[in-house]
A = this chain, B = another copy of it.
Amino acid sequence: MLPLHANAATKLEDLFQHIDAHQDDFVQSLKDWVAVPSDSSDPRFREQLIRMVQMTAERIRTLGATVQLVDMGLETLHGGQTIQFPPAILAQLGNSTDKATVCFYGHVDVQPAKKEDGWKTDPYTITEINGNLYGRGATDNKGPVLAWIHAIDTYIALQKTIPVNLKFIIEGVEETGSPGLEELLKGHEEFFSDVDYIVISDNVWLSRKPALTYGTRGNAYFFVEVESGKKDLHSGTFGGIIHESMRDLVYLLASLADTAGHILIPGIYDDVAPLTEEESKLYESIDFDMEEHKNNTEVNTFLYNTKEEILQHMWRYPSLSIHGIEGAFAGVGTKTVIPSKVIGKFSIRQVPNMKIPVVEKLVKKHLEDVFAKLNSPNKLKVSLEIGAMPWVANVDDPQYEAARTAIRKVFGVTPDMIRDGSTIPLARTFQDLTKKKVIMIPIGGADDGEHSQNEKISRSNYIQGTKLFASFFLELAKLHEDLQKKSNSNQVKISQRIRSQT
């Protein structure tokens, strides 16, 4: 038998050729998946979301994997009603004891999207313009999930041995903070017991250069509800005598942060890890073009002027964003309404060593204090809707080394080691609960606009990303072989020692 890595060298070229040749099929698959509006935040799409999870399970089954759909129970909505959570997928393909086992995490739910929000194309119809595939979920996270599946497909199509054992955990409520996932992990310890590495591909590069991610921020998402009465009123007929809920709400929202981006909630920065000199140096070496970043975000000015400050405020400091208001008039045109119940929505990105229960307490106290000063007879209700912790990994772990090599083989460059300001709750949850080695391998571009209008993934990133995953399997296998050799040689030494002792 040839050593695995010799066999691998031949394979890589074949794999890449096959992937290039089938790229239109892969784009068609993405089209089929994006066509399902699997919006997890809006209960009206729940049926479609569940269908999306079932489609995904069926797709993974065609790889030859053993697939189970895990019931995730009931979701309690803001109004008190309950609906079914979509099930989670646990799947397994291969269980050779001489191979590494790598578990891929992904999600098939998406953020809300409506054409009238400013989409150039229908958000649920993949449309290719100048090499970009526009559609909700294209990059977050349907594209990467499919790239992983297609990488496996490629081995199967070419009748090559898949060099690793594969597991999947796919969920349908990532965009709402992955509720129930912790319980899922705790309840399936045996599933994760033989897993060596966890791969997550649910974020984007920092620039045009490929990157590997070793940290993410968490998120605490709040609703602040003010209710003045039971129904909306006409501002002509009743304006002037009503304690208008919107007036209270804009005061409350204006009290959260200043225009310099500083959060005004007392105590909120107390648990933020201080910036050490060692960490500070990390930022200097990152390849980060501020002008390009401005172009990607399409803003003229950032809150900070240096690369280091920008990266630190995206990655390692908390930030507060006001997302919008539910219950007020939000349409085009002019409506002369006094809204009765309005819900302000904002979130605070979490960084080490902030603690969600502490943040919740501080936010509630702050808003209640501000509201008390207003002397308003209206009803205030503050609730934490999402509470997700931050995550940081060790960049010297071997799976990072394997991924760096795989990236060099596909892209010809050494990736940037970056963090991500956004939240992938599983990274932290996994690290804490399974003690397994987690790695984040983004394949999307910095300008993909995840969560935004006109979300896309470029055809190139989608296809090269598929190659990257195929290549990564081989590198992981090599790594495993090396580790086993060392382990064997250790065992020989131990046997020798034991023998010499007897």
List the interface of chain A (C-beta within 8 A of B): 39-43, 78, 111-112, 117-118, 175-177, 203-204, 216-217, 219, 221, 228-244, 246-248, 250-251, 253-254, 257-259, 261, 297-304, 310, 313-314, 317-326, 328-340, 345, 347, 349, 374-377, 385-386, 420-423, 449-454
Contacts and interface: CB of A to CB of B under 8 A. Distances in A.
A237 B314 contact: yes
Given A259-B251, A301-B377, A334 B386 contact: yes
Contacts of A257: 247
Given A324-B339, A334-B345, A219 B243 contact: no
A302 B78 CA distance: 28
A323 B325 CA distance: 11
A258 B422 CA distance: 36
Nearest to A206: B237
Contact of A454 (B39, B231, B259, B349): B231
Contact of A236 (B297, B421, B454): B421
B335 A237 contact: no
A449 to B, nearest CB: 7
A423 B241 CA distance: 16
Given A229-B300, A238-B421, 9 more contacts: A41-B334, A42-B333, A204-B237, A232-B451, A239-B321, A239-B421, A244-B261, A323-B329, A323-B335
Contact of A243 (B240, B299, B334): B299
A234 B347 CA distance: 12
Nearest to A320: B239
Contacts of A258: 247
Given A299-B242, A321-B246, A231 B118 contact: yes
Contacts of A336: 111, 175, 219, 221, 321, 323, 347, 422-423, 451
A350 B122 CA distance: 42
10 contacts: A41-B332, A111-B335, A175-B334, A229-B299, A230-B298, A233-B452, A236-B421, A236-B451, A325-B325, A337-B451
A375 to B, nearest CB: 7
A413 B162 CA distance: 90
Nearest to A330: B330
Nearest to A176: B334
A416 to B, nearest CB: 15
Nearest to A222: B334
**Looking at A41, A217, A321, which has the most chain B CB atoms within 10 Å of its CB?**
A321
Contacts of A177: 334
B333 A323 contact: no
